[in-house]
Amino acid sequence: MRYHLVVTPPKIHAIVKSFGFGLMVLVGGTLGYVVIEGMNPFDALYMTTITVTTIGFKEVFPLSLGGRIFTILLAFIGIGVILLIATEFARAMLETDLRRVLGIRRELKLMKNLKNHIVVCGHGRMGHAVIEILHQRGIPFAVVELDPEHCRSLEDRGLPVVRGDATDEKVLASTNIGQAKTIITCLADDAHNVYTILLARQLNPSINVIARAVEFDADERLKLAGANRVLNPYLIGGMRLALSAIKPTVTDFIDESLLGSSVELDLAEIVIDPSSELAGKTLAGAEVRKRFGIIVVALKRGDEAIFNPDASERIEGGDVLVALGPLSAIERVEKAVQ
């Protein structure tokens, strides 16, 4: 993981304040020499600089008694200000370094404790959109990204990120991928996505793999590598644009249901546990709509998908219900099926 120096506002304020004292000493010393010795401003600034920095180059001209006393005082004040500036810088570096060490330990601990999380490989435009949705929904995830600027932006937000190449076994393993439930590959080219999928399958044979296809003919290669699902964003985007023109109301409703921006509805996958009270009952007998206020849009059993299932359809353990309803209702039914 990559960490970087972060100087917080209080430290910046202290450093700026110390520099302010230094500037005041330079201005005060310059004015002092102008008044006491009658120097021109440049010569006065020169004398102040060599006195404060203790360089001790040749004086502009021999000083009077008053000038010498002023120089002694200015030298002591200058040394104090320089020490103050150095102290503030050292404090900022030390505190930042301590926070960095503690941050590394904390992030490593969090990464090791991740379970049933989603590993997102790549933080480009597609990966960023994926991460935003996961973060909004409170779903645990870890990001693998090579670009240092992208890593920095994620770290600044406190999001778990591993800096490195997703095709590197050690990098991918550091996301605790053995305990992950899903990996999403959003890398810039299909070759890297294929290699990452193969590596993920080696580290976690049962992991669910969702891959982004860059080229239109890459779907088959990605599936052969082990992807459970392949999505081509350009194809999906084109379809969405066409449907928005043909059926704008339908697409708007789907967007609101999936993203939940203004409508309190959600489309959810509800996995039926064999020990659930709903297992063994028909949809009518379970009174899913009456009890929970949701609409079962589809029922998936293994590789078979039943759309708009009849009320007499029996619910079995392991089935997946695709339901539409208010967020509160979805939460209630998810608790009931556990």
String of DSSP letters for 46-72:
HHHHHHHTT-----SS---HHHHHHHH
**Same topology for domains 115-236 and 248-336, yes or no?**
no
Mean pLDDT of 119-137: 91
Mean pLDDT of 169-187: 92
Rounded-to-10 torsion of CA 303, 308, 310, 314: 40
Q: Which residue has the higher pLDDT, 332 or 105?
A: 332
Long-range contacts of 274-277 (CB under 8 A, 24+ apart): 274/317, 274/318, 275/317, 276/317, 276/336, 276/337, 276/338, 277/336, 277/337
> What is the rounded distance in angstroms from the CA atom of residue 166 to the CA atom of residue 83?
46
Strand partners, 231: 212
pLDDT value of residue 13: 65
The CA distances from residue 159 to 85, 142, 187, 279, 332, in Å, are 34, 8, 19, 38, 29
pLDDT value of residue 67: 80
pLDDT value of residue 94: 62
Report whether 44 contacts 30 (CB < 8 A).
Answer: yes
Tokens of 259: 């993203």
> For residue 206, is pLDDT > 60?
yes
CATH class of 9-111: mainly alpha
pLDDT per residue over 20-52, tens digit each?
A: 777 888 888 889 888 888 888 888 888 888 888
Report whether 267 contacts 326 (CB < 8 A).
Answer: no
Nearest to 219 by CA among 239, 238, 199, 194: 194
pLDDT per residue over 130-161, tens digit each?
A: 999 899 888 999 999 998 888 888 877 888 88
Provide Rg for the chain, Cα atoms. Answer: 33
Four-way CATH pick for 248-336: 3.40.50.740, 3.40.630.40, 3.30.70.1450, 3.30.360.10: 3.30.70.1450
> Where are the domains positioned within the chain?
9-111, 115-236, 248-336
User: What CATH number should be reported for the domain whose range is 115-236?
Assistant: 3.40.50.720
> For residue 6, is pLDDT > 60?
no
pLDDT value of residue 192: 94
Report whether 202 contacts 178 (CB < 8 A).
Answer: no
> For residue 256, is pLDDT > 50?
yes
> For residue 54, is pLDDT > 70?
yes
